Homo-oligomer: A and B are copies of this chain.
């Protein structure tokens, strides 16, 4: 009996210490991995609460607000004696989120975080740990590199920049040619988004190291193209996005693809080209990519903004690309849709688009990212699911 009592005590102690430990870990706030070097705030707790701070002694009101997956409604902060405004966001989803302060009505970036182009302007970002996921983190595997590639565009009359991922081994095998994925960003972001916010290089490095994806090049160009002399203001209305896609199509056909194939060792032909994009980039993948099955054979729509009107008459849409469903299905190797479970307008657009295609007799696949919104962690997971299907 004494012995049993002793064992019971031992078990109880172990249980209590475990509870205490979990409590400590949940309450332990550490600087976010995305903070600039040596900066203390924002801090993240073990259960993904986010403590923020901004020094603004003379401000009358300071709030913090975030993008999808992080504090959609502004949260009032409280000023301390040193003039710092403090507050804790009660919960944050996994992955990258935009956020900002609102100081007397003006959006203000956090001086402690890097700025990322989002919402058409430089915006602070924070990386929240994702439990049981490391597919998007740099690991001890061979690394590809992302290259900044400038070229002059006659169509737009401007220097344009693309980022190009070359896989591990690209330099060491100077005679090897690779298939290529053209990977498009969304509205209000730019060609830097997929590598900076999206960690696409880590995702591809890890997939390639695990022999889950074919080594490929990835071209990330800018999704905004305004023809020389076109003075229409740049907005992100549906009509404007569709109108501008026609200019971007011309830039892809006459400039981006030729420049990239001249500059990098790419396998020729439609079977070695894929196009995928997120949000506005999904719209462009439909309007440019699917329209040109002569150029591409694999397609990905990540929370793709494929508006109703695009396939209103699927038979005649996209220059009749879908009019012969049999021929289309034979030519197209991958037709893939993905979205976050918490972004209803976009899961609906994916479902509606797939139904229209299904009505023509065209099959496609669908992936839903659990618990994520219209945000980068959805698109990271989409890329991680989509890339292994390419060029098989």
Interface residues of A (CB under 8 A from B): 36-38, 54-60, 103-109, 111-115, 117, 120-122, 124, 138, 140, 143, 145-152, 159, 164, 171, 174, 195, 201, 224, 226, 233-234, 263-265
Contacts and interface: CB of A to CB of B under 8 A. Distances in A.
Given A38-B226, A226-B38, A109 B138 contact: no
B58 A104 contact: yes
A224 B37 contact: yes
B145 A159 contact: no
Contacts of A109: 108-109, 115, 122
B104 A59 contact: yes
A103 B111 CA distance: 14
A95 to B, nearest CB: 18
A373 to B, nearest CB: 23
A122 B111 contact: yes
A148 B195 contact: yes
B145 A148 contact: yes
19 contacts: A37-B226, A37-B234, A38-B233, A38-B234, A54-B106, A56-B105, A60-B104, A104-B104, A108-B108, A108-B109, A109-B115, A111-B120, A111-B121, A115-B122, A145-B148, A146-B147, A148-B195, A171-B263, A171-B264
A185 to B, nearest CB: 13
A315 to B, nearest CB: 36
B138 A149 contact: no
Contacts of A233: 38
B147 A104 contact: no
Contacts of A108: 103, 106, 108-109
A57 B111 contact: no
Given A105-B56, A120-B36, A234-B37, A140 B111 contact: no
Which 4 residue pairs across A and B have the least CB separation, nearest first?
A: A38-B234, A174-B174, A58-B105, A115-B122
Contacts of A60: 60, 104
Contact of A150 (B55, B143, B152): B143
B59 A105 contact: yes
Contacts of A264: 171
Given A38-B226, A38-B234, A56-B105, 15 more contacts: A36-B120, A37-B226, A54-B106, A56-B104, A56-B106, A60-B60, A108-B108, A109-B109, A111-B121, A112-B121, A115-B122, A138-B152, A143-B150, A145-B149, A147-B148
Contacts of A38: 224, 226, 233-234
B111 A107 contact: yes
A287 to B, nearest CB: 20
Contacts of A59: 104-106
A244 to B, nearest CB: 11
Contacts of A226: 37-38
A58 B149 CA distance: 42
A106 B103 contact: yes
Contacts of A265: 171
Contacts of A164: 145
A111, A140, A164, most chain B CB atoms within 10 A:
A111
A150 B122 contact: no
Contacts of A117: 36, 114
